[in-house]
């Protein structure tokens, strides 16, 4: 973790009803091409703002909710105990550089509002390429650099969309789509060929 990491003590912000207006999950997920039966992972899942609706869309496929902070996983675990919540979610402690998922195990990866927090974007993209199946998609949703807070992190912590695209292209990812919301940008990317890094976990 670093000074940019979202703190569990601020998790009430993730449940603010106003967030549904400027970061609408259904509208965002509609652009991701999710299909029933797919396997997906939400890396930096937090309290499940996206994990739960993704799990609903891909059922009976599985959603792996990955987060580095046990407190966040505990909050999400409590939500999953409620009636009517999807049962196809598995919680994993890990981070964007070391998810603990097997090679070529997911069809879709979401990094929502965590890209700006991460050190070593090249390592993050290598891990994404390792766990993604051929033909899979990577979605990066993060804070716009051209809009001043609040909401969101300080301007100095944000990564401009152009810089994110350059980072993807440098690692041979292809842009598959993009969109903007009042405070956020979305980039959808994929790779024509994916190869597991030698020596990584395969099962």
Query: What are 142-185's pLDDT values in tens digits?
Result: 999 999 999 999 999 999 999 999 999 999 999 999 999 999 99
**Cβ partners under 8 Å of residue 75, min gap 6:** 8, 11, 46, 47
Count of CB atoms within 10 A of residue 186's CB? 19
pLDDT tens digits along 38-93: 999 999 999 999 999 999 999 999 999 999 999 999 999 999 999 999 999 999 99
The pTM for the full model equals 0.91
Q: Answer whether 23's CB lies under 8 Å from 135's CB.
A: no
Query: Mean pLDDT, to the nearest integer, of 83-107?
Result: 97
Cβ pair 184, 142 in contact under 8 A? yes
Indicate the SS3 state at residue 41.
Answer: strand
Please identify which residue in the block is written with the tokens 């965002």. 28
The pLDDT of residue 195: 52
Q: Is the pLDDT of residue 9 over 50?
A: yes
pLDDT, average across residues 13-24 = 88
CA–CA distance, 14 with 51 (Å, rounded to integer):
13
The architecture in CATH of the region 18-189 reads 3-Layer(aba) Sandwich (3.40)
Phi, then psi, of 17 in degrees rounded to 5: -55, -30
Digit-coded pLDDT (tens) for 116-132: 999 999 999 999 999 99
- Is the pLDDT reported for residue 202 higher than 50? no
């Amino acid at each position: 973790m670093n000074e940019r990491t979202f703190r569990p003590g601020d998790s009430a912000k993730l449940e603010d009803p106003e967030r549904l207006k400027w970061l609408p999950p259904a509208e965002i997920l509609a652009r991701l091409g999710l299909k029933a039966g797919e396997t997906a992972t939400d890396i930096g899942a937090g309290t499940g703002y996206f994990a739960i609706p993704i799990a609903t869309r891909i059922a009976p496929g599985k959603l792996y909710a990955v987060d580095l902070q046990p407190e966040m996983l505990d909050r999400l675990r409590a939500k999953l105990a409620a009636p009517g919540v999807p049962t196809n979610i598995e919680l994993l402690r890990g981070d964007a550089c070391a998810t603990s998922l097997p090679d070529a195990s997911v069809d879709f990866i979401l990094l929502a509002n965590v890209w700006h927090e991460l050190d070593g974007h090249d390592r993050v993209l290598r891990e994404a390429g390792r766990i993604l199946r051929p033909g899979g998609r990577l979605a990066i949703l993060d804070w716009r650099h051209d809009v001043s807070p609040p909401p969101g992190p300080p301007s100095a912590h944000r990564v401009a969309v152009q810089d994110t695209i350059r980072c993807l292209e440098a690692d041979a990812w292809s842009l598959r789509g993009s969109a903007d919301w009042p405070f956020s940008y979305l980039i959808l990317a994929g790779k024509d060929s994916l190869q597991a890094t030698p020596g990584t976990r395969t099962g």
